[in-house]
Amino acid sequence: MNGEEMQKRWKETSEEILSGMAEWREQYSKATFREMEEEVDKRLSELRVRMLTDVAISRAEEEWAAGVCPTCGVKLEKKGKKKRKLQTRGGREVELEREYGVCPVCGQGIFPPG
């Protein structure tokens, strides 16, 4: 995923958030300030998770492009795709799936950052 692709995805997510929030405003005309705040936070957290996931995957792809252990410089042995779940600070779960590899010298596994 390159920078352009990421920005395109983020713009799409942003537009959904913006139009969704505007619709919510029409529907909930009696919402309290607290409810408004919760709604904005909930919607923005979608963008936060999207961006975090994409940035992490993008970096992981870059590391894999090299295909070598960052410590030993030895070619990694591919071990297939693995899923990894990470918690964001807001308590949301982000799931990353990508190639997992192990260095045959030091045994270090290369995975998404986090």
| 106 forms part of the interface with Zn ion (CB under 5 A) | yes
Q: For strands 77-87 and 109-110, give the pairing.
A: unpaired
> Phi, psi (5° rounding) for residue 32?
-80, 165
Determine the distance from the C-alpha atom of residue 108 to the mean position of all C-alpha atoms in its chain, rounded to a whole number.
Answer: 23
CB of 106 to Zn ion, least distance (A): 3
CB of 103 to Zn ion, least distance (A): 3
| 105 forms part of the interface with Zn ion (CB under 5 A) | yes
The CA angle 21-48-26, to the nearest 5 degrees, is 5
Q: Which of residues 41-80 bind Zn ion (CB under 5 A)?
A: 69, 71-72
| 103 forms part of the interface with Zn ion (CB under 5 A) | yes
Stretch that binds Zn ion, among 18-26, 42-50, 78-86, 100-108 (CB under 5 A): 100-108
- In the three-class reduction of DSSP (H, G, I as helix; E, B as strand; rest coil), residue 30 is classed as coil
Residue numbers at the binding site for Zn ion (CB under 5 A): 69, 71-72, 103, 105-106, 108
